[in-house]
A and B are shown apart, each in its own frame.
Chain A
Amino acid sequence: MTTLVAAERELAAPQAPPAGRRKGSGMNRKPRFAIAVTVAFFVLLYLPIFAVVLFSFNTKKSLTVFEGWSLRWYQAFFNDSELTKSLQTSLVVAAAAMVGSVVIGVLLAFGLVRARSRLGGAANVIMLIPLITPEIVTGVASLMLFKGVGLQPSLTTLMLAQTTFSISYVTVILRARVAELNPEVEEAAMDLGANRFQALRLVTLPVMWPAIMSAAILIFTIVFDDFVLAFFTSGVDPQPLSVRIYSAIRFGIQPSINAVGTLMLVGSLVLIAIALLIPRLFGRRGNSFDLFGG
């Protein structure tokens, strides 16, 4: 009894601060070096981007001296039918690759997570190899393949090659999402009278939809911006935008490259913002950065 009372008395007493705690030690101290490096890093990171954006508004042709503000390079871009045709080409290729890779990727994601056969292991490996292969190797190999069957590099070959590479990306992203699904939800749908296909359509796909949309937009952006693969597998006409930019840079031609670059940057940003916002808009719990495997 007395021990109980004593314990109560001790708990009620004000706590003495733990001895020996140095002021400002531990996590509170800011690492000045690390922060300095970070700031410098961000500056350098955005420096060329600022340069490109800035000089896209330059009145003069020069790329080294900024004279004044003008939209002439943007006008030049939109007036240049070759460039706009390239833009169109890039958009079409990106769209085709997006559709193809998402359709195949969704199927592959489900198969990899749920199939219990040995094909799953092989499929997994085949799907992962492109991700660790440098793009130049994929590009060269694809070129080999097309030439080998007698196809000249063209819009079609480009679309096929881009779709192939994209399938790997899409599958990896969606596979994580499929693995998270509660299998009991599909079982419940079947328990209530739906067959397997109805269950997938009515109950699983609606839940997967935000992830699929995000993956689709992400892959669209990636394919649109891609250069190396396009370089090896696209034909002379029409050329995707990234290849045209490359030629322009190599042969030191017009500074409307800056305008094109700025437009591409803005476009990509808008798409990425949409891709990140979709899960949030559809009320999915969790960090939308889960997409990047953080």
Chain B
Amino acid sequence: MTTRTAVAERITVIDSAVATSACAVSLRRVTKSYGERTAVRELNLDIASGEFFSLLGPSGCGKTTTLRMVGGFVDPSYGEVSLHGKDVTDLPPNRRDVNTVFQSYALFDHLSVWENVAFGLRRRRVGKTEMTRRVGEMLELVQLTGRDKDKPSALSGGQRQRVALARALVNRPSVLLLDEPLAALDLKLRKAMQVELKRIQREVGITFVFVTHDQDEALTMSDRIAVMSEGRVHQCGTPEDIYERPSTRFVAEFIGTANLMSGSYTGTGIELPGGVPLYTGRLDGCSIGDEVAIAVRPEKMWLSDLTPDMVQTDGILKATVYGGATTTYLFEIAPGVEVSVLEQNLHSARTEERWADGERVRIGWHAKHSLAPLT
């Protein structure tokens, strides 16, 4: 009934900042169906050379399938995959200038670390001296120089991951595909490897296409992120774009936390359940009576030093959750509508709570931080 001009069909997202032929990876209307089920729907993506590009989304969203189509392990049902302007859709994996780091690492258990890393070079019949030099360089890059004669079974998870990385990188591919490579590592190791991977990518200058379901990982490592769900890209942009300016409700909720407030548009704001008015000011593209939703991130909400230009509302304190560096307060601002507010603990722990449960507190935020309107 109404047109939402701000909400375009996110199916055809072509990043205008990137010219097509300079792209390391280009996907045009790439689709993959398994019988009745469609895993990837008409995907369009352009990944620039030298970018650290992430495919982010929940399980089953199609990110791994997309990656595998770039690698050549899965045939698209429709569409085109191009590498550096060349159509590779019909080429098998061994003829594409792409290498992959698999989620299970897929190391060759019957070969030594050295042989694992040298595998690709052997297939290309690289000369012995050059092979030795390049493998040595790569082992040094991933800090595994002393372990070249060991078998993969003798290595730890983190070390195996690095062998997988070295094995792929030694071939100097123009694009490196990584399928949730850090998922199996414990937290500390994962954090360390994230830094390592970023460093290596910067040093080597290769385009990385990185699949993950961990949004923190994507936000910290990527130059650009494509947020996917149910086979579609919802939004493609820099981490800051995705976080501060999510274009769909899914993105707003998937990345970070967002306080969702929905109701019918009154012209000056939203009427929340229970008739509670929220004066957000005019919202573009909405007519009075429409169901609208806005979202505000918890850290953008203020509980003190409120200014008159802020959007304000009252909330009843439901719970206080202490989190070390921060404290989260849960408020009910309307029947059934809860918001959480995140504050830095700038002062040391107080001996009494600021407010007691059930107290009425004023909450405010700047209108520019309202993520609205959302589909």
Contacts and interface: CB of A to CB of B under 8 A. Distances in A.
Contact of A206 (B107, B110, B167): B110
A196 B94 CA distance: 9
Contacts of B109: 207
Given A194-B94, A195-B94, A189 B119 contact: yes
A190 B92 contact: yes
B110 A190 contact: no
Interface in B106-129: 106-110, 119-120, 123-124
B254 interface: no
A192 B102 contact: no
Contacts of B119: 189, 192
A184 interface: yes
B99 interface: yes
Nearest to A195: B94
B73 A187 contact: yes
A191 to B, nearest CB: 5
A191 B99 contact: yes
Given A187-B73, A187-B93, A198-B123, A192 B106 contact: no
A194 B123 contact: yes
Contact of A207 (B110, B124, B153): B110
A283 B110 CA distance: 10
A1 to B, nearest CB: 11
A136 interface: no
A207 to B, nearest CB: 6
A190 B106 contact: no
A191 B100 contact: yes
A266 B94 CA distance: 50
Contacts of A185: 106-108
Contacts, number: 61
A203 interface: yes
A195 B92 contact: yes
Nearest to B99: A191
Interface in B273-291: none
A147 B153 CA distance: 55
B131 to A, nearest CB: 13
Contacts of A189: 108, 119
Contacts of A207: 109-110
A191 B123 contact: no
Nearest to B73: A187
Contacts of B93: 187, 190-191
A193 interface: yes
Interface in A182-226: 182, 184-185, 187-196, 198, 203, 206-207
A184 B94 contact: no
B154 to A, nearest CB: 11
Contacts of B89: none
Nearest to B124: A193
A182 B104 contact: yes
A192 B169 CA distance: 10
B263 interface: no
Nearest to B153: A283
A187 B102 CA distance: 9
A229 to B, nearest CB: 37
B120 A193 contact: yes
Contact of B94 (A190, A203, A206, A283): A190
Contacts of B100: 187-188, 191
A203 B73 contact: no
B123 A188 contact: no
Given A187-B73, A192-B99, A192-B123, A182 B106 contact: yes
A283 B109 CA distance: 10
B181 interface: no
B71 interface: yes
B49 interface: no
Contacts of A184: 102-104, 106
B171 interface: yes
A188 B102 contact: yes
Interface string B64-100: 0000000111000000000000000000111000111
Interface in B166-204: 167-168, 171
B208 to A, nearest CB: 15
A53 B150 CA distance: 48
Interface of B: 71-73, 92-94, 98-100, 102-104, 106-110, 119-120, 123-124, 153, 167-168, 171
Question: Considering the complex of A and B, which 8 residue pairs feature the smallest CB-CB distances, nearest first?
Answer: A193-B123, A192-B120, A184-B106, A188-B106, A184-B102, A190-B93, A185-B106, A206-B110
16 contacts: A184-B102, A184-B106, A185-B106, A185-B108, A187-B93, A187-B102, A190-B93, A190-B94, A191-B72, A191-B100, A192-B167, A192-B168, A193-B94, A193-B171, A194-B123, A207-B110
Given A182-B106, A198-B123, 20 more contacts: A182-B104, A184-B102, A184-B104, A185-B106, A185-B107, A185-B108, A187-B102, A188-B100, A188-B102, A190-B72, A190-B94, A191-B73, A191-B93, A191-B94, A192-B171, A193-B120, A194-B94, A195-B92, A196-B92, A206-B110
